[in-house]
Every structure is written in C-alpha cells, then in structure tokens.
Amino acid sequence: MEQLIAKIWSLIGLFTLLQNILPPHLHKILMDWFSSIKYYFNPPHYHMEIPEFKDSHGVNANDLYETVERYLNGLDGISRTRRLTVFRARNSTNLGFIPAFDEVVEDSFRGVRLWWTHSALLEQRSGGGGRGRGGGGDRNAVSERRSFTLKAEQPDKDFLCAYFDHIANRAAELNTLNRDLMLYTNTGDARWGEGWTGVPFKHPSTFASLALDPLLKSSILRDLDRFKKGKEFYRRIGRSWKRGYLLHGPPGTGKSSLIAAIANYMKYDVYDLELTQVIDNIELRALLTQTKEKSVIIIEDIDCSLKLADRASNPPPGDRQEQEGSSVTLSGLLNFTDGLWSCCGEERIIVFTTNHKEMLDPALLRSGRMDMHIFLSSCSFDAFKSLAFNYLQVEDHPLFPAVEEKMNSGAEMTCAEIIEVLMNKVEEPSNALNDVISALDAKIKEREEMFPIPPTSRKDVEEESETPNMRKNSHRGWSGKKRGGRRRGR
C-alpha cells in the first residue's frame, strides 16, 4: 500500500514538473491526454435542474416539478434517506414524503444510476413598492427558489426522454393510488361552469366484503381489469375509452354497494347524476364535459327518473318539462352515453341502475351504451356465507346446511333483508342463523299463500317428482286393480 501511494505521488510530481518545463503547445497536448485518462476512469456527471417555476417571478408553475415530486414520493430509495419532508394535501388522509433539502436519493433506469437532490436557494430581490407610487411594499423581498437536480452519467437525449416518460407514467399511477376519492352531485347550473358539488367519498364497500355470487364477482373483476389496461386497445379499434354497465334487479340486492366497490377498486371519483335536476339537453352536455377522467358516472333508477321507458309514449318536451321540471329527452341521454360529446374524456364508466329492466327503451340497452348487463337477484347461499362472515365472523356453522336447504327450496330474501336479520344479533351467531331460517320459512309460507297450488296441479307435481320405477310400479298396481274389479263385476 505504501509503495502504491509513493508511485502516485511520483506521478503527480512528474506531471507538475512537466507542466513547468514543457513549451505551451506540448503542455496543451499533455493536458488533453490527462483529461482523456481521467474521463476514462471517472466519466463526468451532468446536472439537470427542474425548477418549481418556469420564470424567476414565481408565476408560471413547472408541471415537471410536481411530477418529479410525486415520483420521488413512491421511489424505493426514499426509505433509505435520513431526512425527509413530510406533507399532507388539503382534505387528504394520505401522507407524502420527499427528500429534505440537500438530501440525495438514488434511482436507476435501464441499468443506469441516477441521483436526485432537492434544493432551495434564497434570493433577495430589490425593487419598488408594490402599492402604488407611494410605495409601501417590501423593497428587499426574499424569495425561495426550489428545484430538483438530476445527476447522471453521460445521458443522451433518447435516454432522458425515455426516463422522463417513465417518471410521468409512474407519477400518474401513484396519483391514482394515493388520491382521496370524491363524490359529486349536480346541484348548480352547469351552463355557467358550476354543475358539480363534491364531498370526500368514504364508502367502505369493496369486492372482498361484497355479498355477491363468486362467478359474477369474478366476471366483473375481469372486465374491470381489462378496461383499466385497455388504453391502447380502445385507441387501436377507434372507440372512446369508456364502459357502460346496467345494474338491474329487485330493491335491496346491493346495486349501490356494487357501484361503491367498483369506484374503490378502480380508484375513480363518483358523479351521481340526478336527471330531474337537469334543465335540458344542453346542461346535460355541459355536465358531461365538466366530469374528470377516471370517474364513474351513475344514473340511479333510470326507469323512474324522467319516464324514458318508451319513446312512443313519452309526452312532448314541453309537457314533460311542465310535469317533471326537466326537458331532457331520450335523444339527449343517448348522446350523453354514446354520442360525440361522450368522447370528450377518457377512462370513464357509466352506470345505470333500475328495478325494472323491461320498462327501459331498447335504445338504452344496446351494446356500446350498456356493454355489460348485471342482474342482481335474491341472496344466494354463497353470498349468504359472505354476509355471515362479515357480520358474525363465522366461516362455517352447523346451521348452514339448513339455510342452504331453505334457499334451494325456493325461499328468496335479498341481501338487505338478511343483513337486517343478522344485525339484530351480531353477538349471538347461532340465534342470528336461527332467525334467518325462520325468516326463510316465512318467505316460503308467504309464497304458498300468494300462489296456492291447485289440487290437480299438486297431483301433477307429485307425479313429475316420482322416479321412472315408481311410475312403472304404480301403473302396474292400478292396472291389476282395474282388471280385478272387472272380474268381480262379472
């Protein structure tokens, strides 16, 4: 080791001596040679600054600064940084982390190492007062100039473009995952740009807690995943990036809970459109243009909102406006869901709900407007087990077969009805399940009273339920008696 250090010092001394004795042109050749050797063993680093504002006055914000800030918040290397700046946006429950000033965060892209530094520079600006000719403003204002600095080895233009594209895509993903969802409703006049009013969306429904048939749940999740990844697909086939769902079935089957689960799964804002509050088709179009991307637009109870069930039976627009307080037409609603104006944004899901699908106009149901029709019926046994686990914390129970038998016998209860029974005795699982069985028995009895089976029909049902061997034996016995009767008659 001592010999190596001695050799290095000898080279440094030789180089210094050559600098002093060589003529200028040879000195230049020597310096170029030394720089090339230094560049080979220690290539230079380039520094790129991303300021918070594009100008020195702090007026024009630099969008790239916010993108980098969001990207570094989700970077794995930030967990190894000793000093962090923690922040929380207004009306948000999520914490954000960025490196503190002068802290370095390491990143890598395509095998190349890069380093990010967050810095702030205090600048003192002198100028006249900001309150008219008499002055009164601060003539020596101090401003903070914040920026991110990227350090990289020999970056070329293609590499930088690819890296910043990666930053933008990752930042968009993190923004979707970490942002708080909003629930909007139309309370203002959209024609003046004030159509929606929002509050934080806190509905706890998820697909894990949703009481839904497993096959139907899997089908919905596959469709949502395919839609989420379908940007390039929709662009290639020339269709707007949107999806339409029709949820139909009796009241209390979980249509609203399913919508909330979809919004939470996709991380989309929810726009609850109340058609009776929309003045006309122009305002309906304005409401659509004011919705954001990555959103679920829902129109609940479409069959009773504006009586759009049948185009032939609808009253003229003037009469409907006087009767309903709105002159929205079926044509306007169709253009809202599938017209040219529906392409003003991407990544939207439009959901209609109804209790009576047969009352809707066929034009509302065709593919392209409502791509997937989801029927939510009475609670199945699989859905009941999900409810029992959620409310009673019971995965299996000796009373489960009795519940399944009642359901297979034709007893129908909605999820809302079963939840109401379970909620009364959540601390007593056995008693709660017995109450469910009693409620199912009551449903069977109620159905029999409403639709009694005539004696002849009951006989037919009994005969159809017999096995072929039973029918064969019964036929033989009847024939023998009949022949015997004839012999006695003789």
| pLDDT value of residue 159 | 87
Band of pLDDT at residue 131, cut at 50, 70 and 90: very low
Reported as a single tens digit per residue, the pLDDT across 267-277 is 999 999 988 88
What is the percent of the chain where pLDDT is above 70? 69
Confidence grade of residue 119 (pLDDT, cut at 50, 70, 90): confident
Residue 411: the pLDDT is 86
Top pLDDT among 5 and 431 is at: 431
Mean pLDDT over residues 238-242, rounded? 86
Residues in the chain, total = 490
Check residue 39 and give its pLDDT. Answer: 46
pLDDT of residue 323: 43
Convert the pLDDT of each residue in 289-345 to its tens digit: 888 888 999 998 887 766 654 444 444 444 444 444 577 888 888 877 776 666 676
Instruction: Please give the pLDDT value at position 247.
Output: 94
Tell me which residue of 271, 288, 302, 273 sits closest to 337, measured CA to CA: 288
Segment among 79-93, 194-208, 272-286, 351-365 with least mean pLDDT: 79-93
The pLDDT-based confidence of 248 (bands split at 50, 70, 90) is very high
CA distance 411 to 268: 37
* CA separation for the pair 451, 458 (Å, rounded): 12
State the pLDDT at residue 166. Answer: 92
Q: Which residue has the higher pLDDT, 292 or 131?
A: 292
pLDDT at 483 > cutoff 60: no
pLDDT digits (tens, 9 = 90+) for 190-219: 777 678 888 889 899 999 888 888 889 999
pLDDT value at residue 435: 93
pLDDT tens digits, 172-181:
888 777 778 8
- Kindly tell me the burial class for residue 175, based on how many C-beta atoms sit within 10 Å of its own C-beta (0-12, 13-18, 19 or more): middle
Contacts 24+ apart (CB under 8 A), 337-341: 337/244, 337/364, 337/369, 338/244, 338/368, 338/369, 341/285, 341/288, 341/289
> Can you give the pLDDT at residue 180?
81
Mean pLDDT, all residues of the chain = 77
- Asked if pLDDT for residue 96 goes beyond 80, the answer is no
Residue 258 predicted with pLDDT over 90:
yes
CA distance 260 to 269: 10
What are the pLDDT digits (tens) for 392-443?
A: 999 899 999 999 999 888 888 888 899 999 998 889 999 999 999 999 999 8
Of 244 and 176, the structure prediction assigns the larger pLDDT to 244
Left (φ > 0), alpha (ψ -120 to 50) or beta: where does 91 sit? left
The span from the CA of 419 to the CA of 476, in Å, is 52
pLDDT in tens, 24-76: 666 666 666 665 555 445 556 778 888 888 776 556 788 888 888 888 887 77
Question: What is the band of 220 on the pLDDT scale with cuts at 50, 70, 90?
Answer: very high
Q: Which of 213-227, 388-402, 463-477 has the lowest mean pLDDT?
A: 463-477
Closest by Cα among 212, 149, 134, 196 to 386: 212
pLDDT band at 264 (very low <50, low <70, confident <90, very high): very high
